[in-house]
Amino acid sequence: MLLSLAAALALLCPAQAAFLYPERSTAPIVVVWPPENFNMPPADNEFIFGSVSDPKGLFQINGLTVVPYANGAFLAWLPIQRGTFTFDLSLAVAGTTATFQRTIFVPSAPAAPPEGPAAIDTDSLAPRLDLELRSGDWLTLRMRASAGQKARYRLGKRPWQDLKESAPGVYEANVEVAQGEQLEPTAVEYALGKGWSPLKAFSRSKVSFSSGLPAVAVAKSSTTLRAGPGNGYFAFPLAGTKLVTAGRMGGETKIRLSPDLFGWVKTADLDLLPPGTPAPRAVTGAINTASSGDGALVRISLTDRVAFVVDESDDRRALTLRLYNTVGHTNWIVYDSPDSLIEEVRWKQEASDVVAVTIRLKDATVWGWQASYEGASLKLEVRKAPDLADAPASALKGRTVILDPGHMPSATGSTGPMGTTEMSANYAIARAVEALLLKEGAYPVLTRNTTDQEVSLVERPRIAVEKKGDVFVSLHNNALPDGENPFARPRVFYVFYYHPHSLSLARALYRSYQKNVPLPGEDLRYGDLLVARLSAMPAVLIESAYMIMPEQEEKLNDASFRRTLAETVVSGLKDYFEDERLRQRPTGRKNK
């Protein structure tokens, strides 16, 4: 059956046939996940999947019977224990029994507060990363130790201060760095117990306070600012942007955008400028607008490259660009022509060092936008909806659709129980979508054009912009984080978007999946994903199925199911562009 299907596929698309069907191992038991000596996150259960040579044999894992799928694939959700843990697998067929072992490591649960008159859990001492703090910052100190004791801390030669027992065996204090306070890098000293000889311990990481002039850094390349260490992104400074540093935690540097707004960036993404370099203080000059082929260009004259964010209005008819470390001195706003996409440009000084420039569109909504620096001038390219073909032609005719088959040989993504790689499945689906789009008169462009092509994650949005895409669709298939029950609820498809102007595309595609894919959906989702953050056009990421679910992996290896997925994607795209055509020509009038 598989040979004939593969042969048929080879006739239709030779490039896809070989890689979709990995060579089947002859071993009686194959474990794909977890790998040998895998370090689990703390959990009480874990999934294990792979395949067996004979699905009719008695298959057991740690004495529990697991029923394989018809093709031999299996997926089980089993209890595990802390420490070194072994899965014992056995397959009994025709009077013989094959065995296999897979060993993982499961970390212990957080230690209970130490018992006894005075004991300190030295692994609990905070901070755990080196900290560089400034005036007004807060330092959180924490220690786990024997409950009901007197606990104190001190920094260097400063006086001892009390810690409060916030929960049994957990001692804490929050300290604000005073104005002008300085401290050389110092480990925090903790003490537990009364009298002259309390038990003492030092934090492994060091704390420093600085009251000197803020250091100035420049972004080496385009980077990202997080709302806090390890938190979500909210700003994307371009290469050459000057930033004011305001502290450090481990490998991340705190950035001051305004007195009330801070972000965190990877220290490795910055070049520190010489001490004494003045903090950036850009001044806005004239603002000019100009028509472009698919929208308009707004150019803001500045004296320096500073950080900014772009927000879309609720009705998607305006963009507001906020420039930080900036003072407004705009005396001229020059509009290029009366038929420009731009209705109006306004600016105002929102705060002492924040300038907001609002761009209102004329009878149009934002299709996409892209910001870049040209010298010190900031350019904001605003795209309008493309002019669509008249009915009865397909609304997709002439449209450039960027198809992004996720992953590549050096990062293959998830793997199914039978060994199918996500990279391969994504590519096969993309090729099937490409064939259908060509029939609609569209211009599909793949970010990865062969099965073995290496295309980095950051290159994919760049390709989309370079090829002047109208929309961007990243095609993926899913997995699960370790320790999550794959059987807890139905798990199949969902669609991610990031920017507001991408939401209607995501909705159209999700509705198409609900209508055409015979599997339950997992809802439309906002997703802070790199490719979905592409702003120059509507951009989405689709997770079509779960690689680790045996029946879904088998479907992905079925050419007819991949065609269903391709038809679903194209149907969603058609609906999206049809809706746009109706907005452009509600009475069916011809496009001029």
Beta bridge mates, 374:
377
Nearest to 591 by CA among 340, 294, 387, 363: 387
What pLDDT does 366 receive? 95
Crossing angle, helix 559-584 and helix 422-439, to 10 degrees? 50
115 has a pLDDT exceeding 90:
no
Single-letter amino acid code for the residue at 39: N
Burial class (CB in 10 A: 0-12, 13-18, 19+), 52: buried
Cβ atoms of residues 88 and 115 within 8 Å? no
Instruction: State pLDDT tens for residues 145-154.
Output: 999 999 999 9
Q: What is the rounded average pLDDT of the residues 131-147?
A: 91
Tokens coding 417: 């129980």
Does the pLDDT at position 510 exceed 50?
yes
Q: Residue 147 gets which letter from DSSP?
A: T
Closest CA to 378 of 310, 313, 295, 312: 310
Q: What average pLDDT does the segment 254-266 reach?
A: 94
- Residue 232 makes CB contacts below 8 A (sequence gap 6+) with 226, 528
* Residue 399, number of CB atoms within 10 A of its CB: 21
The answer to whether the beta carbons of residues 550 and 540 sit under 8 Å apart is no
pTM over 0.85: yes
| 2-6, 104-108, 584-588: range with highest mean pLDDT | 104-108
Q: What share of the chain is helix, strand, coil (3-state, %, to 5)?
A: 15, 40, 40
Chain centre to alpha carbon of residue 287 = 34
Residue closest to 259 by CA, chosen among 271, 272, 241, 244: 244
**Tens digits of per-residue pLDDT, 84-108?**
999 999 999 988 999 999 999 999 8
Please give the sequence-ordered ranges of beta strands (E in DSSP) within 227-367, or none if there are none: 233-235, 242-249, 252-258, 261-266, 270-272, 282-292, 295-302, 308-312, 318-324, 326-327, 333-334, 342-351, 354-361
Predicted confidence at residue 521, as pLDDT, reads: 82
pLDDT tens readout for residues 49-77:
999 999 999 999 999 999 999 999 999 99
Rounded to whole angstroms, how far apart are CA atoms 527 and 487? 23
Burial of 324 (0-12, 13-18, 19+ CB in 10 A): buried
Q: Are 578 and 586 in contact (CB under 8 A)?
A: no
How far is the C-alpha of 298 from the C-alpha of 296, rounded, in Å?
A: 7
